[in-house]
């Protein structure tokens, strides 16, 4: 999958209209051990990332090594690519049978209620 400007860093694509989402994205931007490109979907070249607006308005995405990771799986991959044993263990737990479903459910609950969370605004509300 092509990433613009020849940058091979993983790309985190989030909803830039959502204060809560922006806060989470900035957290990863400041603390990631792996270089990341952080870009709101509203400003991203989505076609170059194999994404569409209707996809990115619903979930956060990580584009890494030619693969797309969405929602809870995005966060599991973010943990994995940090490279240290602790974060890799967190990623493994998030992907374990049973826990994977729980992680996905938790992500869905947070995504549906992001307008109620700190930094969230009515613009964050999903239909």
- Kindly state whether residue 124 falls inside one of the protein's structural domains: no
Residues 32-88 have pLDDT tens digits of: 989 999 999 999 999 999 999 888 888 999 999 889 999 999 999 999 999 899 999
Cα–Cα distance between 67 and 121 in angstroms, integer?
31
pLDDT at residue 121, rounded to an integer: 54
Query: In the predicted model, what is the mean pLDDT of residues 7-21?
Result: 88
Asked, for residue 62, whether it belongs to a domain, the answer is yes
Q: How far apart are the first and last CA of the chain?
A: 30
Residues 6+ positions from 117 with CB-CB distance below 8 Å: 20, 110
74: domain CATH number is 3.40.30
Does 121 fall in a domain?
Answer: no
Number of domains within the chain: 1
| Length, in residues, of the chain | 127
DSSP-derived 3-state class of residue 60: coil
CB-based contacts of 52, cutoff 8 Å, min separation 6: 46
Query: Is the pLDDT reported for residue 5 higher than 70?
Result: no
Q: Indicate the pTM of the whole model.
A: 0.84
**Please, which pLDDT band fits residue 127 given cuts at 50, 70 and 90?**
low
Query: Do the domain assignments include residue 61?
Result: yes
- Whether 125 is in a domain gets the answer no
The span from the CA of 91 to the CA of 73, in Å, is 9
Cα 88 versus chain centre, distance: 17
What residue numbers bound the domain in which 98 lies?
A: 4-115
31 in a domain, yes or no?
Answer: yes
């Amino acid at each position: 999958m092509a990433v613009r400007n020849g940058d091979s860093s993983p790309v985190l694509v989030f909803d830039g209209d959502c204060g809560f989402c922006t806060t989470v994205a900035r957290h990863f931007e400041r603390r990631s051990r792996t270089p990341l490109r952080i870009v709101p979907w509203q400003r991203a070249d989505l076609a170059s990332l194999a994404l569409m607006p209707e996809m990115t308005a619903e979930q956060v995405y990580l584009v890494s090594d030619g693969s797309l990771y969405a929602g809870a799986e995005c966060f599991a991959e973010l943990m994995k690519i940090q490279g240290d044993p602790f974060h890799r263990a967190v990623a493994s737990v998030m992907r374990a049978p049973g826990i994977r479903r729980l992680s996905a459910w938790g992500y869905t609950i947070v995504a549906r209620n992001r307008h109620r969370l700190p930094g969230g605004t009515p613009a964050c509300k999903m239909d």
